[in-house]
Chain A
């Protein structure tokens, strides 16, 4: 079914279809879809994907009878279960959770960082059917764990979450995506960090092969604030991680990291983009991938330094290991620099596991498989050992062992 019909038919259970401003905006988007030729070659957001799966889909959304749960089990620590992208409202003196509102949505349509040719974000805007907003109040130090649950098969979830960290606050956010049913989630996270705030954002992705996950993050970071994101992708299904960050005021920092483990026919598309709009900002983009069997991955990284953003430090690193001769990896580390007093660099490597290292381990009596496994673990050790949450570190170790058990 084409996008226009799909939208008209399901208008009823799409958010804000009554609002006039939003309606005109959506008409524009429909126009973009109608006129675009979906040029895979020149549109990096479409590389390696099966267009039919994502743009010719059957829309289905249910509000589940299972309700979401919010627990405040320890002080400053919350756990949330979101069902089909929805979440209950909640309020205390530290945080506030509400449903997503019209204003949040309009706010987004004016956004300029997310490029117009990102069709998945446009799809999300068009079919929005769930989402919530979490506000961390001033000077609070909060931990939140969100488990995302999808109840039925064939659901198409278009979710938008807003996170706002007020001045001086700090948030440790863990998001888990572990879905086993045949459905598609298209999630857009919009994150705002006010002055002197901090957000550590962990995303653990471990879906079954019939689940497609599309996550886009847009974070804007203000003075003296830091946004750190770590993505661990163990999914057997398609995952798309596109993360954009805007450093709006001086002395802010963005750190976007990711590791992905692919096997079988799986595909993963990754992108990070940091825009430096003020001076004395730092950014770091590091992605590592391990590709087995016939898997494919792309990674686009981009550092954009505006003319006013002097004294910028921006680093990028992309590393890929190909375990099989049918796997393929495409990387495009881009630098766009308009200021002169900067230190920017990128490095990118793709290759097999170092044969000399294997030889060294084998000469000490290890089997080839054991040696390979040790070297894979050491390849990502830096990222794993930097996790300061013990519980999470354990979860990730377990998933890593599971992945390694399939390596031959």
Chain B
């Protein structure tokens, strides 16, 4: 790399995280630490029925016996689970506001700063938004119209009250609480999240979306999302995240479960932009997320798209269990790490049914002193006749102090299944850079253009509303080192 590039790299090494503000708002928290009382407190606050509390306590007793998974290529200090607030809510949220006029104006202002004007978005984009602030779901827009179609889109807390049958049947059916320590932790203390049910044959006319924000200090956010697409239905769901700048590390351990029944399709898109820590690696969110989808019925499809730019640590493997015959799983990912960020992300495709297909496209970009790992598992079980997988994972290295790693696990137990995997690692092509500069682009613009082109295959999978935001986000993330 020539000295010009290095200079540009250095001059931009201050990352600008524009979502780093704190909203001054009174909040309500239980005592720090995790014990049965905390769980009872949460359950009481949420006004939950007895069976839910039992479910949480069972998960807690499992968690006590478990250790954190250590196989990931990440290094971080031991998490002190007793030094975290497990619940934090803006005051006055015992009763959910009925509509936006009852919501604290300060909160509305926060979301306006984040670029989701609830009021405006209602009219302009036609996106229904469920906003989660720390632990409580603040407002769900567009609810009435969705109700007409029979679609249930509400916070999971509300779903536990109103739709206990669905919750009892599906909660924990894809990610059992005892799966690993983070899923057990989440099951014990999850505070809010979204619940979506699309009835048979309904194509959801608009993009559903959730916006997560961690505001309070020393809080962990443990949201739980459950999406059920009944036979022949379709839904596209978006998720975005931000958090204020703080010097401490904060824990985020979410669980997302998707269930697609016969002929249903779920498209789940994430733009994760939690606070990544400053340029010396102080602060930032520890993001330990379990996302798993089950293609339960024939001809069902689940598609994950993620743009990961934030978090000090990302530990995230959105997976698909392809159980129904002819089902399809897709995974598109862009992961950008800068400064001292560490990302260990990828996917898991388990082919169980016949003629199941999966496709994995992963793009990793490492800058600064960061470490970026792709870790993915593709397995074909005995009965997965004629199953197919195609995997492509490319890494781009910018600067000579970062690392890019690829760790795929490929397991085939069926002789009619076909698997293809390819990966490459390289730096930004000097010829391309030269070509762009020759045509009058500045160095930063050229790098940004090339990186955007590198990611295009994934970015084009995002819904319109997100695609623009994601492209901007990619440029902002690069600003930290190239522009």
Q: What is A's interface to B at a CB cutoff of 8 Å? A: 42, 307, 310, 320, 322-325, 327-352
Chain A residue nearest to B406 (CB atoms) is A335
Kindly state the separation between the CA atoms of A342 and B425 in the bound complex, as whole angstroms: 7
Contact of B409 with A335 in the complex, beta carbons under 8 Å: no
A325-B416, A330-B409, A346-B406 known, 13 other contacts, Cβ within 8 Å: A307-B401, A320-B412, A325-B382, A327-B415, A335-B404, A337-B403, A340-B427, A348-B419, A348-B420, A349-B418, A350-B412, A351-B412, A351-B418
Contact of B406 with A331 in the complex, beta carbons under 8 Å: no
Please count how many residues in chain B sit with their CB below 8 Å of the partner chain's CB atoms. Answer: 35
Kindly state the separation between the CA atoms of A337 and B407 in the bound complex, as whole angstroms: 11
Contact of B424 with A345 in the complex, beta carbons under 8 Å: yes
Contact of B410 with A331 in the complex, beta carbons under 8 Å: yes
Chain B nearest CB: distance from A46 CB in Å?
A: 15
Chain B nearest CB: distance from A339 CB in Å?
A: 6
Q: Which of A327, A343, A350 contacts B419 (CB 8 A)?
A: A350
Contact of A339 with B416 in the complex, beta carbons under 8 Å: no
List 9 tightest A-B contacts by C-beta distance, closest first: A322-B415, A351-B418, A340-B397, A348-B421, A345-B424, A335-B406, A328-B413, A350-B412, A344-B425
Kindly state the separation between the CA atoms of A153 and B398 in the bound complex, as whole angstroms: 58
Chain A residue nearest to B427 (CB atoms) is A340
A selection of 17 A-B contacts at a CB cut-off of 8 Å is A310-B400, A322-B412, A327-B415, A328-B412, A334-B406, A335-B404, A335-B423, A340-B1, A340-B399, A341-B427, A343-B424, A344-B424, A345-B424, A349-B421, A350-B418, A351-B419, A352-B416
Contact of B411 with A345 in the complex, beta carbons under 8 Å: no
The binding surface of chain B is classed by DSSP as: strand
Q: Which of B401, B402, B410, B414 contacts A325 (CB 8 A)?
A: B414
Kindly state the separation between the CA atoms of A343 and B426 in the bound complex, as whole angstroms: 5
Q: Tell me if B395 counts as interface (CB < 8 A to partner A).
A: yes
Chain B nearest CB: distance from A350 CB in Å?
A: 4
Kindly state the separation between the CA atoms of A333 and B427 in the bound complex, as whole angstroms: 20
Residues of B within 8 A of A351 (CB): 412, 417-419
Kindly state the separation between the CA atoms of A330 and B419 in the bound complex, as whole angstroms: 11
Residues of B within 8 A of A343 (CB): 424-426
Kindly state the separation between the CA atoms of A109 and B425 in the bound complex, as whole angstroms: 34
Chain A residue nearest to B403 (CB atoms) is A338
A-B pairs under 8 A by CB, number: 113
Chain A nearest CB: distance from B241 CB in Å?
A: 29
Contact of B422 with A346 in the complex, beta carbons under 8 Å: yes
Chain B residue nearest to A349 (CB atoms) is B420
Contact of A346 with B423 in the complex, beta carbons under 8 Å: yes
Chain A residue nearest to B417 (CB atoms) is A351
Residues of A within 8 A of B415 (CB): 322-325, 327, 352
Chain B nearest CB: distance from A178 CB in Å?
A: 30
Residues of B within 8 A of A310 (CB): 400
Q: A325-B416, A342-B426, A349-B421 are in contact. Are A337 and B397 (CB under 8 A)?
A: yes
Residues of A within 8 A of B410 (CB): 330-333, 348, 350
Residues of B within 8 A of A348 (CB): 408, 410, 419-422
Kindly state the separation between the CA atoms of A345 and B400 in the bound complex, as whole angstroms: 18
Kindly state the separation between the CA atoms of A368 and B423 in the bound complex, as whole angstroms: 34
Q: A341-B427, A346-B423 are in contact. Are A329 and B412 (CB under 8 A)?
A: yes
Residues of B within 8 A of A346 (CB): 406, 421-423
Q: Which of B1, B405, B424 contacts A334 (CB 8 A)?
A: B405
Residues of B within 8 A of A339 (CB): 397, 400
Contact of A328 with B400 in the complex, beta carbons under 8 Å: no
Q: A337-B397, A337-B404 are in contact. Are A345 and B425 (CB under 8 A)?
A: yes
Chain B residue nearest to A336 (CB atoms) is B405
Q: What is B's interface to A at a CB cutoff of 8 Å? A: 1, 71, 382, 395, 397-427
Kindly state the separation between the CA atoms of A335 and B425 in the bound complex, as whole angstroms: 9
Kindly state the separation between the CA atoms of A336 and B73 in the bound complex, as whole angstroms: 10
Q: A307-B400, A332-B408, A349-B421 are in contact. Are A344 and B416 (CB under 8 A)?
A: no
Contact of A341 with B1 in the complex, beta carbons under 8 Å: yes
Kindly state the separation between the CA atoms of A330 and B377 in the bound complex, as whole angstroms: 10
Chain B residue nearest to A347 (CB atoms) is B422
Kindly state the separation between the CA atoms of A42 and B72 in the bound complex, as whole angstroms: 12
Kindly state the separation between the CA atoms of A366 and B116 in the bound complex, as whole angstroms: 67
Chain A residue nearest to B374 (CB atoms) is A335
Kindly state the separation between the CA atoms of A330 and B409 in the bound complex, as whole angstroms: 7
Chain B nearest CB: distance from A197 CB in Å?
A: 30
Kindly state the separation between the CA atoms of A346 and B410 in the bound complex, as whole angstroms: 13
Contact of A344 with B426 in the complex, beta carbons under 8 Å: yes
Kindly state the separation between the CA atoms of A366 and B406 in the bound complex, as whole angstroms: 42
Contact of B416 with A42 in the complex, beta carbons under 8 Å: no
Kindly state the separation between the CA atoms of A335 and B420 in the bound complex, as whole angstroms: 17
Kindly state the separation between the CA atoms of A322 and B417 in the bound complex, as whole angstroms: 9
Residues of B within 8 A of A342 (CB): 397, 425-427
Kindly state the separation between the CA atoms of A341 and B5 in the bound complex, as whole angstroms: 13
Chain B nearest CB: distance from A104 CB in Å?
A: 34
Kindly state the separation between the CA atoms of A338 and B402 in the bound complex, as whole angstroms: 6
Chain B residue nearest to A312 (CB atoms) is B425
Chain B nearest CB: distance from A335 CB in Å?
A: 4
Contact of A333 with B423 in the complex, beta carbons under 8 Å: yes
Q: Which of A323, A335, A340 contacts B402 (CB 8 A)?
A: A340
Kindly state the separation between the CA atoms of A325 and B386 in the bound complex, as whole angstroms: 11
Residues of A within 8 A of B418 (CB): 349-352
Chain B residue nearest to A327 (CB atoms) is B415
Chain B nearest CB: distance from A322 CB in Å?
A: 4
Residues of B within 8 A of A330 (CB): 409-412
Residues of A within 8 A of B71 (CB): 42
Chain B nearest CB: distance from A407 CB in Å?
A: 13
Kindly state the separation between the CA atoms of A320 and B420 in the bound complex, as whole angstroms: 11
Contact of A337 with B395 in the complex, beta carbons under 8 Å: yes
Contact of A333 with B400 in the complex, beta carbons under 8 Å: no
Kindly state the separation between the CA atoms of A337 and B371 in the bound complex, as whole angstroms: 9
Kindly state the separation between the CA atoms of A1 and B79 in the bound complex, as whole angstroms: 42
Chain B nearest CB: distance from A106 CB in Å?
A: 32
Kindly state the separation between the CA atoms of A348 and B421 in the bound complex, as whole angstroms: 5
Of A350, A351, A352, most buried by chain B (CB within 10 Å of CB) is A350
Chain B nearest CB: distance from A8 CB in Å?
A: 34
Chain B residue nearest to A304 (CB atoms) is B405
Kindly state the separation between the CA atoms of A325 and B419 in the bound complex, as whole angstroms: 15
Kindly state the separation between the CA atoms of A337 and B364 in the bound complex, as whole angstroms: 12
Contact of B1 with A328 in the complex, beta carbons under 8 Å: no
Residues of A within 8 A of B424 (CB): 343-345
Contact of B400 with A334 in the complex, beta carbons under 8 Å: no
Kindly state the separation between the CA atoms of A173 and B314 in the bound complex, as whole angstroms: 48
Residues of B within 8 A of A327 (CB): 415
Kindly state the separation between the CA atoms of A355 and B417 in the bound complex, as whole angstroms: 12
Kindly state the separation between the CA atoms of A116 and B71 in the bound complex, as whole angstroms: 16
Residues of A within 8 A of B398 (CB): 340
Kindly state the separation between the CA atoms of A343 and B424 in the bound complex, as whole angstroms: 7
Kindly state the separation between the CA atoms of A320 and B417 in the bound complex, as whole angstroms: 11
Chain A residue nearest to B430 (CB atoms) is A341
Q: A344-B424, A347-B422, A348-B410 are in contact. Are A335 and B416 (CB under 8 A)?
A: no
Residues of B within 8 A of A340 (CB): 1, 397-400, 402, 427
Contact of A349 with B382 in the complex, beta carbons under 8 Å: no
Contact of A328 with B405 in the complex, beta carbons under 8 Å: no
Chain B residue nearest to A320 (CB atoms) is B412
Q: A322-B414, A325-B414, A328-B412 are in contact. Are A337 and B405 (CB under 8 A)?
A: yes
Chain A residue nearest to B422 (CB atoms) is A347
Kindly state the separation between the CA atoms of A335 and B405 in the bound complex, as whole angstroms: 5
